[in-house]
């Protein structure tokens, strides 16, 4: 059966969730970067087909800390537990989740629709491709126009062989060093943004200067920096000068590892990962420089050990713990509202 294709004007001024279109006012408090169902095992680890031990009290700290690699921890596909997890977030005030599991890390549009139906949480699904390591090697033969056509169709028709449509493009993967395929995919994302009016979320490689390079690449290739979000700033940029220079480009900076409280970061052991309190100091630096409207936050949950059912902080952590910390540290209600409601609403409303 042929899927129907929306036109851009059907989307303008609206938000697109896995269950259809919404008015922007219906979004409420929004987490801008999460994974609800995912498979972040590398292709090499998947091929071995060994998940390793079950998670238990005896090993869960070691897996959460990251020093013990657990394939099982990197994979989550249980819709019933996902419903429970998002319901707990709903109970403490979260209403919308942006789910950025895209090409390479096993997106499950139908599963997300079930989770949304089971919880009444709005889920806005991403599209496009994650970093090269996870992509089909055949993608190297494809053009930016080809990727753009696929991403625009994921927004306008449906994604990954389903009729469930994406409401944002991303997370588009980049790596340090930033290679040709990932540049071509990002060019495709920019073209798809121009065609659909969607925002783009970009996962930057780990070098501290890559976010700036990406923001300048977006602008130079005709992308809209005011509708571009750079993820994972908390593991990438540590000084105010780089942070403010990045915000000056007009992109939204995303601190999306809230809940990760250990300084140890297995994916880059040369850095000291900030904790939530230090993340809030960076937000204050941005706000004091006039960039309140360029900040979003999230948890980027993508390990089982970060889910409440496995002893983690869960999707409710920001509402349950971080917002009270913001109040204690002098953030105004208007600032909290901008970060959790107004900025996500602007970014998720199609231009
Ligand atoms: Zn992510």
Structure tokens at 181: 């395929």
State the distance from the centre of ligand 1 to the C-alpha of 2, rounded, in angstroms.
31
201, 229 in Cβ contact below 8 A? yes
pLDDT reported for residue 193: 98
pLDDT reported for residue 2: 53
State the distance from the centre of ligand 1 to the C-alpha of 75, rounded, in angstroms.
13
CA distance 124 to 122: 7
List pLDDT tens digits, range 140-160.
Answer: 999 999 999 999 999 999 999
List pLDDT tens digits, range 249-281.
Answer: 999 999 999 999 999 999 999 999 999 999 999
State the distance from the centre of ligand 1 to the C-alpha of 170, rounded, in angstroms.
9
State the distance from the centre of ligand 1 to the C-alpha of 348, rounded, in angstroms.
17
State the distance from the centre of ligand 1 to the C-alpha of 285, rounded, in angstroms.
24
Angle at 97 between CA 191 and CA 190, to 5 degrees: 10
State the distance from the centre of ligand 1 to the C-alpha of 10, rounded, in angstroms.
28
Which regions in the chain score pLDDT beneath 70? 1-3
pLDDT reported for residue 48: 96
pLDDT reported for residue 1: 47
Can you name the residues that pair with 99 across neighbouring β-strands?
34, 125
Helices 144-156 and 180-196, packing angle to 10 deg: 40
State the distance from the centre of ligand 1 to the C-alpha of 4, rounded, in angstroms.
29
Polymer length of the chain: 351
CA distance 319 to 95: 11
- Please give the DSSP secondary-structure letter assigned to residue 259: T
Domains and CATH numbers, the chain: 24-348 (3.20.20.140)
Characterize the bridge pairing of strands 15-17 and 20-22.
antiparallel
Residue linked to tokens 């200067």: 209
**Longest Cα pair distance anywhere in the chain, in angstroms?**
55
pLDDT reported for residue 131: 98
């Amino acid at each position: 059966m042929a899927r129907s294709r929306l036109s851009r004007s059907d989307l303008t001024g609206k938000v697109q969730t896995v269950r259809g279109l919404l008015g922007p006012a219906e979004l409420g408090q929004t987490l801008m970067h999460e994974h609800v169902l995912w498979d972040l095992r590398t292709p090499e680890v998947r091929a071995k087909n060994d998940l390793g031990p079950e998670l238990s009290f005896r090993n869960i700290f070691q897996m959460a800390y990251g020093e013990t690699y657990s394939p099982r921890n990197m994979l989550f596909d249980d819709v019933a537990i996902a419903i429970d997890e998002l319901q707990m977030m709903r109970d403490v005030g979260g209403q919308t989740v942006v789910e950025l599991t895209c090409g390479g890390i096993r997106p499950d549009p139908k599963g997300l629709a079930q989770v949304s139906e089971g919880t009444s949480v709005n889920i806005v699904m991403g599209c496009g491709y994650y970093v090269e390591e996870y992509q089909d090697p055949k993608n190297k033969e494809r053009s930016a126009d080809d990727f753009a056509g696929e991403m625009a169709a994921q927004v306008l028709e449906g994604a990954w062989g389903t009729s469930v449509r994406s409401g944002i493009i991303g997370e588009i993967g980049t790596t340090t060093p930033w290679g040709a395929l990932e540049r071509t995919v990002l060019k495709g994302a920019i073209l798809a943004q121009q065609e659909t009016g969607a925002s783009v979320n970009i996962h930057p490689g780990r070098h501290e200067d890559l976010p700036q390079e990406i923001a300048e690449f977006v602008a130079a290739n005709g992308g809209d920096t005011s509708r571009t979000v750079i993820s994972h700033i908390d593991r990438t940029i540590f000084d105010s000068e780089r942070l403010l220079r990045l915000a000056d480009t007009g992109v939204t900076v995303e601190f999306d590892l809230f809940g990760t409280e250990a300084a140890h970061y297995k994916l880059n052991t040369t850095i000291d990962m900030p904790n939530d309190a230090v993340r809030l100091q960076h937000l204050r630096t941005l706000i004091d420089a006039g960039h309140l409207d360029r900040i979003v936050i999230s948890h980027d949950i993508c390990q089982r050990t970060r889910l409440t059912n496995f002893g983690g902080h869960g999707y409710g952590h920001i509402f349950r713990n971080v917002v009270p910390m913001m109040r204690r540290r002098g953030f105004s209600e208007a600032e909290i509202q901008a970060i959790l409601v107004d900025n996500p609403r602007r970014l998720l409303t199609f231009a």
